[in-house]
Amino acid sequence: MLRVIEHLINPDNAISEAYRVLKPGGFLIIATPNQASWVNHVLLLFGHPILGIDLSTKWRYTYPLGVTSTISGHVRLYTPKALVNLLEYYNFKVTTVRGYSQIWFKTKIKGFLKLVYFLDNILIRYKNLAANMLVLACKRK
């Protein structure tokens, strides 16, 4: 489930179905944005909404430096701990939680964004601060 769970209205159905179809010892991989990312901490500190959640289906919020939000279709976001707890509720054993940096493929990296990109790549070492997370969970035997 790479970049999927944040778009689901009912993620419980997807997780329970994944559990049902996996063989014992089978793996579920989930990649999703991290609600608790360092960027979101900074944005909240200055009174801005977090990245990755839609405030409107049409209107785009303008962040500092003229950066506008994208319409993502994200319904819900998770912190690493919350996603682990959700998977454990469905009897998965989480084996790995790792952070990975924001994907800037739509943005030309220049000026201030170079600093953001640099910090993002340093802070992926701390799963709770990374822009995104990758979770590996195993169906219990």
Nearest to 1 by CA among 62, 89, 92: 92
pTM of the model: 0.88
**pLDDT 10s digits, 120-138:** 889 989 999 999 999 999 9
Ordered domains of the chain (ranges, CATH): 5-139 (3.40.50.150)
Q: How far apart are CA 65 and CA 72, in angstroms?
A: 20
**pLDDT 10s digits, 19-58:** 999 999 999 999 999 999 998 999 999 999 998 889 999 9
**pLDDT 10s digits, 61-111:** 998 877 788 888 999 999 999 999 999 999 999 999 999 987 655 555 556
Quote the pLDDT of residue 114.
76
Q: Which residue has the tokens 């489930």?
A: 1
Report the amino acid identity of residue 19: Y
Q: Degrees (nearest 5) of the Cα angle 80, 101, 40?
A: 60
